[in-house]
């Protein structure tokens, strides 16, 4: 017998020679959502992995992020196997899991939505066959190339591997695929599935390469989760920011400027509310704001490393025989600002913020509304401090993010990405100090966080903030990135307490991230129903007849002096039609004025949720909405009345 340590330090005894699968069965972890994957001594392995004395074993369920990854990765192989059964001449290329489900790309395949039912039926057949996945080790590139000699796409991937490194493939029934794994122990854990859509995709994301057919799908360990997902998907379609943005006249995208949004007057009201709030928060938090040029010289981008590593995504120009580039990010300009004078430790922490307009060349096929654009604004900040200030300063950034996201009713979770295995800069001591400071700051928040081992940048570890919207979707917006590269590249210094020179610790951080993208997220989060403080249509007066228009104008002028966004619908439509139009345009408050209101100098209030709140004094209405605006309330001041 050998002794295995389980989660929470529980020790379990099992026969020598047992596998991880044997242990899972003995523990009764046989439900579809249980034992999706397994970690032994903190390493993801297959269930056939033999156990030895003292191993620490952690079984992953579907509710674990890594468990979902394995579940959907295994499911991608089911999809590929089904497609090859139906279209034997298709060539499978790659099929990774994504945030919601998975996709697989195929060459020599042409399908439409009408084929989805057949694919789903064949996937269900494969699942019923309940194959046990088998890991195969190919000793080297030569053996792997022979195994996949009929698939040029797999061969191209293999050519990129190290010469003598073992290469793995996974088999289920007749289907064998090049894959690192690991996989679920058997396919029968999949209990519900749906093919979602198909699209074109370039091989390896390169627009000069072949166009492939991509199939998106999702699977679950029970039908209820699939049902809930599909309901959420339908709700997401209703909230599509591109449709709402057009309907409510917030923004548009033109062929003359692909990926470069036009923000309309109503959209600018929301945009400015976002920036006003951002500036208020940052002023209170001790930031200064700067503005750096949009176009800077080639020499700067060489110094920052962007010219060598990012030029294909930059817009460049030549002026007076000198090369320039429109900035794809604000950081190098921020470094030049820092160097305009010598700084002292007495100034630290120095918090320098910028709403920077940046441009990045994205492939036209990747552009998507406000979510993926070529021209956007980032709410960057570069913060300089001493090593002793690092932990407290990181915590201050997290607390600022917490305050901002809460104002919009957005929950979030935190992820820490640590040092990659290869090609990093900085000493072991610097990485250890930085990572420890990030961890300590995260621990002080008392919020749970995920550690992504090895996913940091080559120049430092980072914290990502993933916000969750009203229907539970996750969006990565904020980031707190420690940077050891730019302070070295730009030779940044400060005067220490003893008069010597030292290099500052620097983080760059963004909280909205891309303001365009955050705007799009908020459109979908609120479904276009913005709270009063940032709504472009706060109040609309609805005169019953022409004789009531003058009184409506009087009320409107009073509200306008208080800086509310007010409109009058003086059309000849019926009141019910005016109300309907206002509701479709997501007006927060509708004020009907007729003979009674004119006589008593009152208004009759109807809220956006189509509840009539009745007749009231104008002054009483104003007191309520001024408080609602001042407090940036997410709910109506009248929601608790009546």
Q: Which residues contact 176 (CB under 8 A, 6 or more apart)?
A: 136, 147, 169, 170
Measured in degrees and rounded to the nearest 5, phi and psi for residue 460 equal 160, 160
For this structure, is 380 an active site residue?
Answer: yes
SS3 (DSSP) at 150: coil
Q: How far is CA 53 from the centre of its chain?
A: 42
Q: Which residues contact 325 (CB under 8 A, 6 or more apart)?
A: 295, 296, 297, 298, 301, 306, 307, 311, 314, 315, 316, 317
Residue of 179, 306, 331, 548 marked catalytic = 331
Residue of 239, 508, 517, 608 marked catalytic = 508
SS3 (DSSP) at 500: coil
Cis bond before residue 349 (omega within 30° of 0): yes
Residue of 46, 105, 379, 380 marked catalytic = 380
Measured in degrees and rounded to the nearest 5, phi and psi for residue 576 equal -60, -35
Structure tokens at 366: 């990747």
Residue of 306, 419, 462, 509 marked catalytic = 462
Q: How far is CA 323 from the centre of its chain?
A: 34
Residue of 77, 382, 537, 548 marked catalytic = 382
In terms of C-beta density within 10 A (0-12 exposed, 13-18 middle, 19 or more buried), how is residue 597 classed? buried
For this structure, is 378 an active site residue?
Answer: yes
First to last CA, the chain: 70
For this structure, is 360 an active site residue?
Answer: yes
CA atoms lying within 13 Å on the CB side of residue 38 = 23
Residue of 172, 378, 389, 538 marked catalytic = 378
Distances (CA, A) of 112 to 197, 205, 213: 9, 22, 10
Distances (CA, A) of 530 to 78, 262, 398, 527: 43, 20, 25, 8
Q: How many angstroms separate the CA atoms of 187 and 502, rounded?
A: 58
Q: How many angstroms separate the CA atoms of 140 and 142, rounded?
A: 6
For this structure, is 508 an active site residue?
Answer: yes
Please list the residues that pair with 384 across neighbouring strands. Answer: 350, 506
Please list the residues that pair with 593 across neighbouring strands. Answer: 543
Q: How many angstroms separate the CA atoms of 177 and 144, rounded?
A: 11
Residue of 189, 282, 327, 360 marked catalytic = 360
Supply the DSSP symbol for 135. Answer: E
Beta pairing, strands 43-45 & 37-40: antiparallel
For this structure, is 382 an active site residue?
Answer: yes
Residues classed as catalytic: 331, 360, 378, 380, 382, 462, 508
């Amino acid at each position: 017998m050998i002794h295995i340590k389980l989660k929470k330090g529980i020790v379990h005894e099992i026969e020598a020679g047992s596998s991880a699968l044997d242990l899972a069965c003995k523990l009764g972890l046989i439900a579809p959502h249980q034992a999706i994957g397994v970690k032994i001594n903190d390493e993801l392995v297959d269930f056939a992995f033999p156990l030895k004395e003292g191993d620490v074993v952690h079984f992953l369920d579907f509710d674990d992020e890594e468990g979902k990854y394995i579940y959907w990765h295994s499911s991608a192989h089911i999809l590929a196997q089904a497609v090859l059964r139906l279209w034997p001449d298709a060539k499978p290329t790659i099929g990774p899991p994504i945030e919601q489900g998975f996709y697989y790309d195929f060459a020599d395949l042409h399908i439409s939505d009408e084929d989805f039912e057949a694919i789903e039926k064949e996937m269900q057949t494969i699942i019923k066959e309940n194959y046990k996945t088998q890991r195969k080790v190919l000793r080297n590139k030569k053996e792997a190339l022979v195994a996949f000699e009929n698939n040029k796409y797999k061969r191209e991937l293999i050519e990129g591997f190290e010469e003598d490194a073992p290469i793995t493939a996974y088999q289920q029934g007749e289907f064998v695929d090049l894959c690192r794994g690991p996989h679920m122990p058997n396919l029968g854990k999949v209990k519900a599935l749906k093919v979602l859509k198909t699209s074109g995709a370039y091989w390896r994301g390169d627009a000069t390469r072949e166009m492939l057919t991509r199939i998106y799908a999702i699977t679950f360990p029970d039908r209820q989760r699939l049902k809930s997902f599909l309901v959420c998907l339908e709700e997401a379609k209703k909230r599509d920011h591109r449709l709402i943005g057009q309907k409510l006249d917030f923004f548009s995208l033109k062929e003359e400027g692909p990926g470069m949004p036009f923000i309309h007057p109503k959209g600018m009201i929301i945009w400015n509310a976002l920036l006003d709030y951002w500036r208020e928060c940052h002023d209170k938090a001790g930031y200064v704001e700067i503005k750096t040029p949009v176009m800077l010289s080639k020499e700067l981008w060489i110094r920052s490393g962007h010219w060598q590593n990012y030029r294909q995504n930059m817009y460049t120009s030549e002026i007076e025989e000198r090369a320039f580039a429109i900035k794809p990010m604000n950081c190098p300009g921020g470094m030049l600002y820092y160097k305009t004078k010598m700084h002292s430790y007495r100034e630290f922490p120095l918090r320098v913020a910028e709403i920077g307009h940046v441009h990045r060349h994205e492939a036209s096929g990747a552009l998507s509304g406000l979510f993926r654009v070529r021209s956007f604004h980032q709410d960057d900040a570069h913060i300089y401090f001493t090593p002793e200030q690092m932990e407290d300063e990181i915590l201050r950034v997290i607390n600022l993010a917490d305050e901002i996201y809460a104002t919009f009713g957005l929950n979030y979770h935190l992820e820490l990405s640590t040092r990659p295995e290869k090609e990093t800069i900085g000493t072991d001591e610097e990485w250890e100090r930085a990572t420890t400071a990030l961890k300590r700051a995260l621990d002080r928040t008392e919020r749970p966080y995920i550690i992504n081992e090895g996913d940091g940048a080559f120049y430092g570890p980072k914290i990502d903030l993933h916000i969750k919207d009203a229907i539970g979707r996750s969006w990565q917006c904020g980031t707190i990135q420690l940077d050891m590269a730019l302070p070295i590249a730009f030779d940044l210094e400060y005067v220490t307490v003893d008069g010597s020179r030292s290099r500052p610790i620097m983080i760059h951080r963004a909280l909205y991230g891309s303001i365009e993208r955050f705007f799009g997220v908020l459109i979908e989060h609120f479904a276009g129903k913005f709270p009063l403080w940032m709504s472009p249509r706060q109040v609309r007066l609805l005169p019953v007849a022409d004789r009531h228009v003058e009184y409506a104008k009087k009320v409107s002028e009073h509200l306008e002096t208080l800086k509310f966004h007010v409109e009058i619908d003086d059309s000849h439509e019926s009141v019910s039609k005016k109300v309907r139009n206002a509701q479709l345009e997501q007006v927060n408050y509708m004020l009907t004025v007729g003979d009674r209101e004119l006589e008593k100098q009152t208004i009759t209030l109807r809220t956006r949720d189509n509840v009539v709140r009745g007749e009231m004094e104008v002054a009483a209405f104003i007191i309520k909405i001024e408080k609602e605006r001042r407090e940036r309330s997410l709910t109506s001041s009248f929601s608790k009345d009546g």
